[in-house]
Chains A and B, each alone.
Chain A
Amino acid sequence: MNLAYTRYIVLTALLFLLAPIFARAEGLVVNQKFISDKEIQVTFSGPVDKAVTENIQNYTIYEEPDPDIRLELSSAVLADDGKSVTLFFKEPLNTAKTHVITVHGLAGIDKTTFTVSKSYLGYLFGILISALLINNFVFTKYLGLCVFFGTSKKKDTAKGMGVVFTMVMVVSALMSWFFYNFILIPFDLNFLQIVVFIGLVSLTVQAVDTILRKVNPILFNSFGVYLVLVIANCVIIAVPLILANNNYNVFETFMLALGAGGGFLLALYLMSSVSERMQLANIPKTFKGLPIAFIVAGQFAMAFLGFSGLQLF
């Protein structure tokens, strides 16, 4: 009985999330996308009038925030099947922005307006990858180093820590998002940011702590002295502070938190793999312990620098 309910809820949620994609498929315009930085391709549901679509006078195109600045077309070419038209622009487009296209007189309708933008899912995925690799919290933002050096001795602990951190981060980031957008901003209490965020983080950590104590005592024991430090760990508190700076919406917040947590997990895992090997190595006495760990982390950081500039979408 319970299971059936859950299934319904999950299905409804999925439908709700995917609704924009289905809704978009209706109407005259089926698909629109950037081909390159000077071309946009528009596909219609049926063949359209060649005279109308190839006349560049019939188009008004602008970037969403600048409706008064028209973008000039150099030509519009209808494909042989009469269903898709490719628009060529004089100047390179800023494909990160949403473009609004209006066609006049198409299929007897005075105005047909639609927008072209990069896929939103791709953008969300971009935030995830960015927080995970390009702006990895440990190796390029230098956060959470205490826990990073403290618990990256064994792979098992590292994995457990990483997963718990990710959980705490996602939950606390979502809560902080709600507090930030519905309490701090409307009442002009932005200066209470730090107190509110750290309170929410502590609350989440306390909850995770209580749950973990019951569910997985072994993992709970391996936290050891770091339990107190987790309550106020900079890698967790940094996520709400970053999202407060960037005006993210709730999905973007989720992706950022997930990416940050995943990045932390990745860093811990990589470091612990090296640490396990290093125990067998012959390290000079002065470098034993933390110094060599820092050098290794530095090498990782340099490797992660290679991810910068990575753009998938």
Chain B
Amino acid sequence: MANDKSSMQLISRGILSENPIFKLALSMCPAVGISTTVMNGLLLGIAVLFVQVFSSVTISIFKNLIHPRIRIPTYTLTIATWVTVIDLVLAAYLPEAYAKMGIFVKLIVAFAIITMRLEMFASKESVNDSFWDGLGMGLGFMVGMMTIGFVRELLGSGAIFGYDVLGFKPLLFFILPSAGFFVVGLMMAFFNWIEIFYKRSKGLKR
């Protein structure tokens, strides 16, 4: 069960090579739906990070007690419990931010990425590794959300974290609801382009 993956590797894998948004293309709904500002991305990212880490650790601790036949229901129950917790906490202590994120906090329960990590990683690996893996995936999601939020907020309202940075009148289009699709699509294409470029330059050197 023990393996030689270091914590840094697990984290960087979540953020870069297996980024849940840009690479695995899972949990796209909030990436398109509420990524109008960096702040929204950050807050939902934190919520997902919390749920992912806690669920991963919980499942990893109890992995030998979970009957294989009721694997999926147990995962769902675990995730739903932690989502309820974060939902109640956010509603109580950060009511304004909670109102902005609307239904999406509750919908974390249906994020494919979390179930997938539980099934593929936490149910097999040690508690320690599961923690780092959950942290990596959660951070990857948060970084992805914040990047999209950054682009949309900068171009759409000319601000970052609510502070004006652009001197000119921004393009309203980028904060309109439908622009989320375009921004995510273009950014995916951009990352693909970098990857192709990188591979090609590597190939030339060799």
Binding site for B on A (CB under 8 A): 139-146, 149, 191-195, 198-199, 202, 228-229, 231-234, 236-238, 241-242, 245, 284-288, 290-295, 297-298, 301-302, 304-305
B178 near A286 with CB under 8 A, answer: no
Q: Which residues of A contact B119 (CB under 8 A)?
A: 228
28 CB contacts below 8 A, A to B, read A139-B178, A140-B178, A142-B28, A142-B32, A142-B180, A144-B29, A191-B84, A194-B106, A195-B77, A198-B80, A228-B72, A228-B115, A229-B112, A231-B72, A241-B106, A284-B189, A285-B196, A286-B190, A286-B193, A287-B189, A290-B25, A290-B185, A291-B185, A291-B188, A291-B189, A295-B181, A301-B177, A305-B176
Chain A residue at minimal CB-CB distance from B182: A298
Binding site for A on B (CB under 8 A): 25-30, 32-33, 72-73, 76-77, 79-81, 83-84, 87-88, 103, 106-107, 109-112, 115, 119, 176-182, 184-186, 188-190, 192-193, 196
Closest chain B CB from A164 CB (angstroms) = 17
Give the docked Cα–Cα distance between A149 and B81 (Å).
Answer: 28
Q: Which residues of A contact B73 (CB under 8 A)?
A: 202
A237 near B109 with CB under 8 A, answer: yes
B29 near A195 with CB under 8 A, answer: no
B196 near A286 with CB under 8 A, answer: yes
Q: Which one of A149, A234, A245, A294 lies within 8 Å of B107 (CB-CB)?
A: A234
B25 near A194 with CB under 8 A, answer: no
Chain B residue at minimal CB-CB distance from A145: B28
Give the docked Cα–Cα distance between A63 and B176 (Å).
Answer: 37
Give the docked Cα–Cα distance between A171 and B205 (Å).
Answer: 60
Closest chain A CB from B132 CB (angstroms) = 24
B84 near A195 with CB under 8 A, answer: yes
B87 near A194 with CB under 8 A, answer: yes
Known: A234-B29, A294-B184, A298-B185. 8 other contacts (CB 8 A): A143-B29, A146-B27, A194-B109, A231-B76, A232-B111, A288-B192, A291-B186, A293-B185
Q: Which residues of B contact A301 (CB under 8 A)?
A: 177-178, 181
Chain A residue at minimal CB-CB distance from B25: A290
Q: Which residues of A contact B83 (CB under 8 A)?
A: 194
Closest chain B CB from A253 CB (angstroms) = 16
Give the docked Cα–Cα distance between A213 and B76 (Å).
Answer: 23
Given A195-B80, A232-B76, A242-B103, A146–B181 Cβ distance below 8 Å? no
